[in-house]
């Protein structure tokens, strides 16, 4: 089945530094990738939709200059948290779809990245 690899699985960084999270589709081409944020024991909140070769679409309230998304190829999307602060600490998850027709079969999610900013 479809596999999405997310890296790193956890990262600790100092306040003010930037962190890059990678999301790769291993056995299919992902035309669309989604980035979510999840707080402990809460649901997933969509941050942005990333389409290959175009600018990401951000949800209301998500700072696009702080959460930089790049989807330069059909198998890789990256999320960069710039000038991270402790309030950015969270669990970040990506998901991918190969095409609209695969939606009814569910999206494949990465295993998540636990970001801790100290």
Partner 1 sequence: TQLLEQSPQFLSIQEGENLTVYCNSSSVFSSLQWYRQEPGEGPVLLVTVVTGGEVKKLKRLTFQFGDARKDSSLHITAAQPGDTGLYLCAGALEGSNYKLTFGKGTLLTVNP
* Stretch of 14-22, 41-49, 60-68, 79-87 contacting partner 1, by CB under 8 A: 41-49
Beta strands 90-97; 32-38: pairing state: antiparallel
Site for partner 1 in 15-34 (CB under 8 A): 32, 34
CB of 13 to partner 1, least distance (A): 18
Verify binding: residue 114, partner 1, rule CB under 8 A. Answer: yes
Site string for partner 1, 91-110 (x = CB under 8 A): x-x-x-x--x--xxxxxxxx
Burial letters 23-62, b for 16+ CB under 10 A, else e = bbbeebebbbbbbbbeeeeeebeebbebebeeebebeeeb
């Amino acid at each position: 089945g479809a596999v999405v690899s997310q890296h790193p699985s956890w990262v600790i960084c100092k306040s003010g530094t930037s962190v890059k999270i990678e999301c790769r589709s291993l056995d299919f081409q992902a035309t669309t990738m989604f980035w979510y944020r999840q707080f402990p024991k809460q649901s997933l909140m969509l941050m942005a939709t990333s389409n290959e070769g175009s600018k990401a679409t951000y949800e209301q309230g998500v700072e696009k200059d702080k959460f930089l998304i790049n989807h330069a190829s059909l198998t890789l999307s990256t999320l960069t948290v710039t000038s991270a602060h402790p309030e950015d600490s969270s669990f970040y998850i990506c998901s991918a779809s190969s095409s609209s027709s695969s939606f009814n079969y569910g999206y494949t999610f990465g295993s998540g990245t636990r970001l801790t900013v100290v």
